[in-house]
């Protein structure tokens, strides 16, 4: 039998054209992911073949840095997750007032670079720290305890938001039944709460550990002689151009991030299958609510103090010698082209936000609304950057893109930031599209409405809130990241966040604090704008 393709006026039917175009589009997506993630990682891993792996792994420097990384990250993770769990309980299981405001306050440290938290510890508790001198404290903040403290401040907001989201949607029905049956409070906790939290808590622990163990901002600022693997990697690549050793350390740093990625995927699948829950009806309790107030006030002070110090020392003569009011440091920062680097950051952040949101929306539409044989592969590629730390991704981009047209341009910084932060916004939209009526496209086809019009006129308007959150996520993280761009930025395209390390190296903490305040102010402004716009959209829809 001869099969003749249907034609209209000697041409292929519109259905065949659309099918061919769709195939070409998916091929383009695969090529993009190959260039943006797969090939750079292969390039980095292949670079390990040129080094003496056994010698590096057995060297005293590496073994010491590995041991210290695991030790400091384990303790910081335990403190961070425990504190985050306590804060999540305060918000979800007590009648404390101003919960929304407190939730925003607890997430505030996420809006500044990790290196700024280390600098905050120096200003407060360093050799001439303000609180150290005021309280007459002894000892030093540099080293182990400084890294632990800075890492907790940097990571606990993420752990808090993850646990807050888990506790907020817990069903109260089992607890009510247990109370009716007279089961003691401790038995309820061990029989109901712990099993419910077990899988999410494991995911939170590994995600927090991966954040801390792959971060070099805090250890670089306040670690002193206490070196960690990311700092060794940074020094080898930037200082000695030892890309082979850097690639080997990068491979090791992939392990905890990969485990965290797998657990996050499994946990998300579990969460998507949840049923409608009944919220908790909280009875008044002075002791419980009093504990929540004390914990929240202490945490608020711990968050506000470093930020307040940034603002304070940025307008003094010379910390700690001359604490009189002066704008000389701001003027000096501007003379060193902070304004130009700020424009660079804004340019990068805007492009990353727009292009990243567009790409994440498109890919989530393909995987969530147009299921096919290769949807799972596309989904896996889209979340692959969850398992790649920024410092590792930056190194892989050096090795793969060096000598190409985009190397040393804004394009490579936009691309690396977009890939670094891509997975979370993609999952936001993937989950949103998955919750919308799956029959919309079929109904549209019955009525003669194309998929494009359904996407433009139905799906996008219903996903407006998610799109705004995606834009803000890309923008905020691009403004403050230093890990992914530190290996790739040149003088002409340097983001303003990298000026923090430059000023700190020149012992100009006042100017470094000024840069941190600028980044925080811009990110807070963006978050506030997104909140107001979303509230306006909600009011219109109701």
Pairing of strands 316-318, 322-325: antiparallel
Note whether residue 14 is domain-resident: no
CATH number of the domain within which 445 lies: 1.10.3720.10
Residues 457 and 529 reside in one and the same domain: yes
Residues 305 and 340 reside in one and the same domain: no
Number of domain units in the chain: 2
Q: Residue 413 pLDDT more than 50?
A: yes
Note whether residue 435 is domain-resident: yes
Report the 10 Å Cβ neighbour count for 345: 26
Contact 233, 391 (CB under 8 A): yes
DSSP 3-state of 388: coil
More confident residue, 536 or 63: 63
Note whether residue 3 is domain-resident: no
Note whether residue 54 is domain-resident: no
- Pairwise CA distance, residues 228 & 360, whole Å: 34
Find, among 311, 327, 301, 324, the residue nearest to 123 by Cα: 311
Note whether residue 5 is domain-resident: no
Residues 183 and 144 reside in one and the same domain: yes
Question: Residue 277 — very low, low, confident or very high, per pLDDT cuts 50/70/90?
Answer: low
Please tell me whether the peptide bond between 320 and the residue prior to it is cis, using omega within 30 degrees of 0: yes
Note whether residue 12 is domain-resident: no
User: Looking at residue 419, what is its pLDDT?
Assistant: 94
Give mean pLDDT, residues 101-123.
88
Residues 384 and 443 reside in one and the same domain: yes
Report the Cα 459 to chain-centroid distance in Å.
26
Contact 281, 87 (CB under 8 A): no
Contact 48, 251 (CB under 8 A): yes
Question: Residue 308 — very low, low, confident or very high, per pLDDT cuts 50/70/90?
Answer: confident
- Give φ, ψ of 281 to 5 degrees: -100, 105
Residues 139 and 63 reside in one and the same domain: yes
DSSP one-letter string for 352-385: HHHHHHHHHHHHHHHHHHS--TTHHHHHHHHTGG
DSSP one-letter string for 160-205: HHHHHHHHHT--SHHHHHHHHTT--HHHHIIIIIHHHHHHHHHHHH
Residues 89 and 31 reside in one and the same domain: no
Note whether residue 7 is domain-resident: no
- Give Cβ neighbours of residue 455 (< 8 Å, ≥ 6 apart): 365, 369
Which of 81-95, 181-195, 220-234 has the largest mean confidence? 81-95
User: Looking at residue 53, what is its pLDDT?
Assistant: 84
- Token duo for residue 342: 């700020």
Contact 235, 284 (CB under 8 A): no
Which of 323-327, 448-452, 478-482, 501-505 has the largest mean confidence? 478-482
- Pairwise CA distance, residues 93 & 197, whole Å: 15
β-pair partners for 316: 325
Q: Residue 1 pLDDT more than 70?
A: no
Q: Residue 6 pLDDT more than 60?
A: no
DSSP 3-state of 270: helix
What is the sign of the dihedral through the CA atoms of 436, 439, 441 and 446? negative
- Pairwise CA distance, residues 495 & 486, whole Å: 9
Give mean pLDDT, residues 149-170.
87
Residues 490 and 518 reside in one and the same domain: yes
Residues 355 and 475 reside in one and the same domain: yes
**How long a stretch of residues is the chain?**
542
Contact 353, 345 (CB under 8 A): no
Residues 104 and 246 reside in one and the same domain: yes
User: Looking at residue 267, what is its pLDDT?
Assistant: 64
């Amino acid at each position: 039998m001869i099969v003749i393709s249907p034609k209209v006026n000697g041409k292929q039917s519109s259905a065949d054209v659309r099918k061919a175009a769709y195939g070409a589009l998916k091929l383009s997506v695969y090529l993009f992911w190959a260039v943006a993630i797969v090939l750079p990682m292969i390039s980095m891993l292949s670079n390990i073949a040129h080094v003496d792996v056994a010698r590096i792994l057995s060297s005293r420097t590496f073994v010491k840095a590995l041991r210290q990384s695991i030790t400091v990250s384990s303790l910081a993770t335990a403190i961070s997750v425990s504190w985050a769990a306590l804060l999540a309980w305060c918000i979800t299981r007590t009648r404390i007032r101003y919960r929304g405001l407190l939730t925003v306050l607890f997430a505030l440290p996420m809006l500044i670079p990790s290196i700024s938290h280390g600098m905050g510890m120096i200003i407060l508790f360093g050799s001439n720290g303000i609180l150290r001198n005021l309280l007459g404290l002894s000892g030093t903040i540099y080293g182990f305890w400084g890294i632990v403290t800075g890492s907790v401040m940097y990571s606990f907001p993420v752990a808090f938001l993850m646990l807050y989201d888990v506790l907020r949607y817990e069903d109260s029905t089992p607890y009510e039944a247990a109370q009716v049956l007279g089961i003691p409070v401790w038995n309820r906790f061990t029989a109901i709460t712990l099993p419910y939290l077990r899988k999410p808590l494991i995911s939170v622990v590994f995600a927090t550990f991966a954040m801390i163990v792959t971060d070099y901002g805090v250890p670089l600022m306040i670690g002193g002689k206490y070196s960690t693997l990311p700092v060794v990697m940074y020094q080898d690549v930037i200082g000695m151009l030892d890309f082979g050793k850097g690639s080997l350390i990068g491979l090791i740093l992939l392990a905890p991030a990969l485990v965290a990625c797998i657990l996050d995927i499994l946990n998300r699948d579990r969460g998507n299958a949840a049923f409608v829950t009944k919220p908790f009806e909280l009875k008044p309790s002075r002791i419980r609510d009093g504990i929540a107030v004390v914990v929240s006030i202490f945490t608020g002070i711990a968050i506000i103090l470093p930020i307040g110090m940034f603002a304070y020392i940025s307008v003094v003569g010379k910390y700690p010698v001359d604490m009189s009011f002066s704008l000389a440091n701001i003027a000096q920062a501007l003379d060193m082209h902070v304004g130009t680097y700020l424009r660079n950051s804004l340019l990068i952040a805007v492009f990353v936000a727009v292009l990243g949101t567009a790409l994440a929306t498109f890919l989530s539409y393909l995987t969530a609304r147009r299921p096919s044989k290769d949807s799972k592969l596309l989904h896996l590629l889209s979340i692959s950057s969850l398992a790649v730390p920024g410092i590792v991704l930056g190194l892989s981009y050096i090795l793969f893109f060096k000598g190409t047209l985009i190397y040393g341009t804004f394009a490579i910084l936009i691309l690396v930031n977009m890939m670094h932060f891509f997975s979370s916004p993609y999952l936001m939209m993937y989950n949103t599209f998955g919750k919308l009526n799956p029959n919309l496209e079929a109904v549209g086809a019955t009525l003669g409405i194309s998929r494009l019009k359904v996407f433009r006129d139905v799906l996008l308007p219903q996903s407006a809130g998610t799109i705004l959150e995606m834009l803000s996520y890309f923008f905020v993280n691009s403004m403050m990241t230093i890990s992914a761009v530190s290996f790739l930025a040149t003088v002409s395209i340097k983001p303003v966040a990298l000026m923090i390390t430059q000023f700190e190296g020149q012992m100009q903490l006042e100017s470094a604090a000024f840069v941190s305040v600028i980044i925080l102010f811009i990110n807070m402004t963006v978050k506030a704008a997104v909140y107001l716009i979303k509230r306006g959209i909600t009011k219109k829809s109701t």
